[in-house]
Amino acid sequence: MKPLTTLPRADGFYMPAEWAPHTRTWMLWPERPDSWREGAVPAQTAFKAVISAIARFEPVTVGTSSSQFLRASEQLADLLNVQVIELSSDDVWMRDCGPTFVVDHQGGLAAVDWDFNAWGGQDGGLYPTWDIDSQVARKVAQLEGTPRYATPGFVLEGGAIHVDGEGTLITTAECLLHRNRNPQLSQSAIEGYLRDYLGVDTIIWLPEGMYNDETDGHVDNFCCFVRPAEVLLCWTDDESDPNYTRCRSALAVLGNSQDARGRRLAVHKIPIPAPRYAVLESEGGALGQVPDDNGRPERLAASYVNFLIVNGGIVVPGFVDPMDAVAMEILKELFPEREIVMVPGGEILLGGGNIHCITQQQPKPQRA
């Protein structure tokens, strides 16, 4: 099917909040050896835990390469509500290479197929090629039989945005204004795309996301809406943590912002876990640390905000950290009507993201 030549907003579409009912969640199966250690076996175990947790609440469709199809099918065979399909990709980041679904008030569903350049293309991007990922959104739209809006020349990943479904979007300047995404566009032109394709009116620009996030500071690892006019922000009081100033700059912006309906935002804070570093499996089996460009151990961008809201639940990564329990309590208070399920997030974090990054919800269209 050819992409539509009109604009979603003009056609009555908007991106609903993540807490609106879902039809399913889409995911991809890990196998890439330069992203996932030990033949991706630990990652596949971690993904199975996430798939299993989500499938308790809603159907999950998992795309695999042809060579992994049987393995994934067998590994996931004991899970109800899970469909494994052959859907090739360059890696697993369905949030970013998958479609952003939009709905209208007549029960319509459509897919936005953003340009994808692997988080920066030739200027700091994370893969040398990304042509298979670039086709994922189109394939998902075709599988679902949904109309598709494409944005040739406009790069965006789903992890770079969060919406309240009532006209407000949050993003970070670190990512969306980075020269490796849309250097030809001004900030107001970028806002124009967000308005036209997601049906939003108000855009809140946080200066930065989490320190050393491989995505140039995706908002989905740092701050999200929990309901209209309420956001949840990563937080640390440790002045030596590079996230210290990032958290305060974000709070200053949020504290001075109004949403699209003119409401001030209530800001809830959630602690970040203790610093975690990339570990390297040496040939002898000992654990070492992967140095960054300055020879220091590579800090990982661990965050509890990287959760997925599902029908009746929240699936959140845990890090075997004392803050896991604190995060659970905060989420229970913020989402009293949902069951909070924590699953191990350490292995997915090693690959460069977490639960929100590897999932993409398909909203269930509602008739007004």
C-alpha to C-alpha distance for 270 and 279, rounded to whole angstroms: 25
Question: Which span sits near ligand KQY by CB under 6 A: 39-47, 196-204, 237-245, 345-353?
Answer: 345-353
Give the nearest distance from C-beta 115 to ligand KQY in angstroms. 16
Question: Which span sits near ligand KQY by CB under 6 A: 16-24, 82-90, 213-221, 317-325?
Answer: 213-221
By beta-carbon proximity to ligand KQY, the closer residue of 271 and 352 is 352
Q: Which residue has the tokens 């360059």?
A: 90
Give the tokens for residue 16: 């609903």
Single residue of 351, 359, 361, 363 touching ligand KQY by CB under 6 A: 351
By beta-carbon proximity to ligand KQY, the closer residue of 202 and 361 is 361
Q: Confirm or reject binding of residue 35 to ligand KQY (CB under 6 A).
A: yes
The answer for 69, left when phi > 0, alpha when psi is -120 to 50, beta otherwise, is alpha
C-alpha to C-alpha distance for 345 and 316, rounded to whole angstroms: 8
Are 62 and 55 within 8 A, CB to CB? no
Q: Confirm or reject binding of residue 353 to ligand KQY (CB under 6 A).
A: yes
Single residue of 16, 42, 352, 363 touching ligand KQY by CB under 6 A: 352
Nearest alpha carbon to residue 161 among 205, 119, 118: 205
Give the nearest distance from C-beta 353 to ligand KQY in angstroms. 3
Q: Confirm or reject binding of residue 126 to ligand KQY (CB under 6 A).
A: yes
Q: Confirm or reject binding of residue 216 to ligand KQY (CB under 6 A).
A: no
Q: Confirm or reject binding of residue 362 to ligand KQY (CB under 6 A).
A: no
**Phi–psi pair at 355, nearest 5 degrees:** -60, -40
Amino acid at 79: L
Q: Confirm or reject binding of residue 215 to ligand KQY (CB under 6 A).
A: yes
Question: How far is Cα of residue 35 from the mean position of the Cα atoms in its chain?
Answer: 17
Q: Which residue has the tokens 């969060």?
A: 162
Give the nearest distance from C-beta 92 to ligand KQY in angstroms. 8
Whole-Å CA distances, 211 to 73, 216, 247: 37, 9, 10
Rg (CA), the chain: 19
Site residues (CB under 6 A) for ligand KQY, limited to 60-99: 93, 95-96
Secondary structure letter of residue 178 according to DSSP: -
Site residues (CB under 6 A) for ligand KQY, limited to 295-324: none
Which residues are identified as catalytic? 357
Single residue of 181, 218, 246, 276 touching ligand KQY by CB under 6 A: 218
Give the nearest distance from C-beta 156 to ligand KQY in angstroms. 12
Give the nearest distance from C-beta 4 to ligand KQY in angstroms. 26
C-alpha to C-alpha distance for 284 and 341, rounded to whole angstroms: 36
Tell me, by CB under 6 A, how many residues bind ligand KQY. Answer: 13
C-alpha to C-alpha distance for 300 and 310, rounded to whole angstroms: 26
Question: Which span sits near ligand KQY by CB under 6 A: 74-82, 166-174, 199-207, 214-222?
Answer: 214-222
Q: Confirm or reject binding of residue 36 to ligand KQY (CB under 6 A).
A: no
Q: Confirm or reject binding of residue 342 to ligand KQY (CB under 6 A).
A: no
Q: Confirm or reject binding of residue 159 to ligand KQY (CB under 6 A).
A: yes
Whole-Å CA distances, 156 to 59, 120, 345: 26, 10, 25
DSSP bridge partners of 14: 103
Applying CB under 6 A, the residues found at the interface with ligand KQY are: 35, 93, 95-96, 126, 159, 214-215, 218, 351-353, 357
